[in-house]
Structure 1
């Protein structure tokens, strides 16, 4: 089999398995949208999710982080030096607790970041719509005043 023929058969096989990429040189069928559903955004659900993050998740992370702090402090005291050196476990627990505190802080920050993203999506979508409308509407004499 020649290389050209094998290459043509391979391309034909790929075309059968995969849909053709979208072509931008024609109108979308059915008056627009290109067959994909419109973007759906539910501001009320986003606000509820953002409030749940702020009112339930973040305080829960704080509380559980503080629970670990109390028990770790007791364990460090028990394993710490009394009449001499103490156990290596005390130093290891201090180091593990320091790492734990950093992870709790990072988780709280991430939760708040996601909350802010949920709450500002509606503003971003509105700004996108306004920007697109400005770019496609015809210019008028008022724009130049």
Structure 2
């Protein structure tokens, strides 16, 4: 197994580096989220134009208009969900160092109270 003994699927070079997490959060904030929002808006404009082009002019319109409208609503919901997920990941990346540091300090404090060396 190519990993840490006793940990299934873990990579032996898995590292938790605060600077890398900050860089990942910054990339999400500066590039990935804005680019995703831009791509979603670009598709939004084109789809709205297509829905309008296939829409009713003489009372009926094309069936494609309704299908495009439904697809557009689904797309908009999915883009929104993706942006929410990216935002949550960014927050989690920034909070991880704090959470892990607090856990380490708490564990260290608890272990220190139980040290057998304190009796000597």
Quickly name the TM-score band, shorter chain normalised. 0.7 to 0.9
For 2:68 and 2:100, the matched residues in 1 are separated by 47
In the TM superposition, residue 102 of structure 1 has moved relative to its aligned partner by: 0.5
1:102 maps to which residue?
A: 77
* Runs of 5+ consecutive residues of structure 2 not aligned to the other structure: 7-11, 115-120
For 1:137 and 1:50, the matched residues in 2 are separated by 34
Please point out which of 31, 41, 46 is paired with 2:21. Answer: 46
- Which structure 1 residue ranges, 4+ long, deviate > 6 Å from structure 2? none
For 1:89 and 1:38, the matched residues in 2 are separated by 52
1:72-109: per-residue Cα shift (whole Å, max 9, x none)?
Answer: 11111111000121011101100000000000011111
Q: In the superposition, relative to structure 1, how do residues 88 and 48 fare at CA in structure 2: closer, same or farther (>3 Å)?
A: same
For 1:51 and 1:98, the matched residues in 2 are separated by 30
For 1:72 and 1:83, the matched residues in 2 are separated by 21
2:57 maps to which residue?
A: 82
In the TM superposition, residue 38 of structure 1 has moved relative to its aligned partner by: 9.7
Alignment root-mean-square deviation, CA: 2.0
TM-score, normalising length: structure 2? 0.80
Higher Rg:
1
TM-score, normalising length: structure 1? 0.67
In the TM superposition, residue 39 of structure 1 has moved relative to its aligned partner by: 7.5
* Runs of 5+ consecutive residues of structure 1 not aligned to the other structure: 1-20, 23-36, 140-145
* Residues paired across the two proteins, number: 105
- The reply on whether 1:122 has 2:92 as its aligned counterpart is no
For 2:14 and 2:44, the matched residues in 1 are separated by 45
